[in-house]
Amino acid sequence: MHNYQIINIHGKLYKVKRILKTTSINMIDGWGDVLRTLYHADIIFKRGEEFYVCETVDDIDYTPIP
C-alpha cells in the first residue's frame, strides 16, 4: 500500500503521485500527456522548480458508522 501526499489547492484535494525536478524533464511536445499517462494522473502543477503529478480526489458519499 502506498502512502500518497494529499495537497489542497483552492479548496480541491489532489493525491500527489510523483514530484519531479523541472530540470529532469525534457519538455518536448506532448510531455504532459506522457507523464499523466505514465503515472495514471490527471493534472500537473508547477511549484518553484518542481512538477507535481497529481490525481484529483473526488468527493465521496458516505454514511458515518456510529
pLDDT tens profile 43-60: 999 999 999 999 999 877
**pLDDT value, residue 38:** 93
**pLDDT at residue 12 above 60?**
yes
For residue 6, give the amino acid letter.
Answer: I
For residue 46 the three cell numbers come to 508547477
54: number of Cβ within 10 Å: 26
Q: What global pTM score does this model have? A: 0.79
Q: What is the mean pLDDT of residues 29-54?
A: 93
**pLDDT at residue 1 above 60?**
no
